[in-house]
Amino acid sequence: MFDFEIIDAHIHPFLDTENRLSVYDRPETCPEMMRELLESGVSRACGSVIKAADITDFEYIRKCNRDTLKLREQYPDFYLPGISIHAAFPEESCREVEDMYRHGVRWIGELVPYMVGTQEFSVKALSPVYELAQELGMPVNIHQADLKDIEKILLDFPKLKIVMAHPNEKTVYLERLTLMKRFPNLYLDISGTGLFRWGMLRYGVREVGAEHFLFGTDFPICNIAMYIYGVLAEKLERREQELLFAENFLRISGY
């Protein structure tokens, strides 16, 4: 469909319907979800299996992560696993990161605070996890509105690659860009709120460079094609499009 690769760095696949995040009951199945991504022009996609839950032990997190490995077996040329961790279980999270890394996983997240009952990600309990991710070179994709939380992680782990999820509206977006200027290891995926504001992406590329943006949709919550054509409509340079659509993700993840 396109003469360049498009890697969606932010999806939420599912095997069980309890993990389906569809707003209007579509896609109903995972095969339908993967088919819709492909038919929209996405070449490959990465993301985590998540669901809002009252998590009392680590087994729920572990099951979600094992589902990502099963999905990779089913879609080996398309799906790239993203895994979850939890601040209440730092030791288990570290073992999980190590184990999943041995299985070829190279992405942590999206981590969503309201999904797992964690409001801050700069908590001391997660320090061993971030230290390990920094050592392994695994990016951490975080959904977080409080930029002070992100800043603290960056200051404590200066080589950890953090990908913020969602540009948000103008005030928050400009704050994100300011933080990105300070930290070369900070990136932003364009899924969720923001891209529908005309000129948002071109402004950000001009301010911090195309190498700091990753393409993402948050599918099946959001419309895939709106994000693809939202990028194309900004009329970025061809090289900027290539970086944003696929090369930045591949470079920082090692996939």
Residue 165: give its domain's CATH number: 3.20.20.140
31 three-state secondary structure: helix
Residue 1 lies in a domain: no
The pLDDT value given to residue 117: 65
Residue 169 lies in a domain: yes
Residue 53 lies in a domain: yes
**Structural domain range at position 45:** 7-253
Residue 2 lies in a domain: no
Q: Total domain count for the chain?
A: 1
Each of the 255 residues of the chain gets a pLDDT tens digit; together they read 789 999 999 999 999 988 898 889 899 999 999 999 999 999 999 999 987 667 888 998 999 999 999 999 999 999 999 999 999 999 999 999 999 999 999 999 999 877 666 678 899 999 999 999 999 999 999 998 789 999 999 999 999 999 999 999 999 999 999 999 999 999 999 999 999 999 999 999 999 999 999 999 999 999 999 999 999 999 999 999 999 999 999 999 999
Residue 101 lies in a domain: yes
The pLDDT value given to residue 251: 98
The pLDDT value given to residue 144: 80
The pLDDT value given to residue 55: 80
The pLDDT value given to residue 18: 85
d(CA 199, CA 234): 7
Q: How far is CA 132 from CA 23, 65, 160, 167, 251, in A?
A: 35, 17, 9, 27, 19
Residue 211 lies in a domain: yes
Q: In Å, how far from its chain's centre is CA 17?
A: 21
The pLDDT value given to residue 56: 81
Q: What angle do CA 201, 33, 37 make, to 5 degrees?
A: 40
Q: Between 127-136 and 90-102, two packed helices, what is the crossing angle to 10 degrees?
A: 20
Residue 30 lies in a domain: yes
The pLDDT value given to residue 1: 75
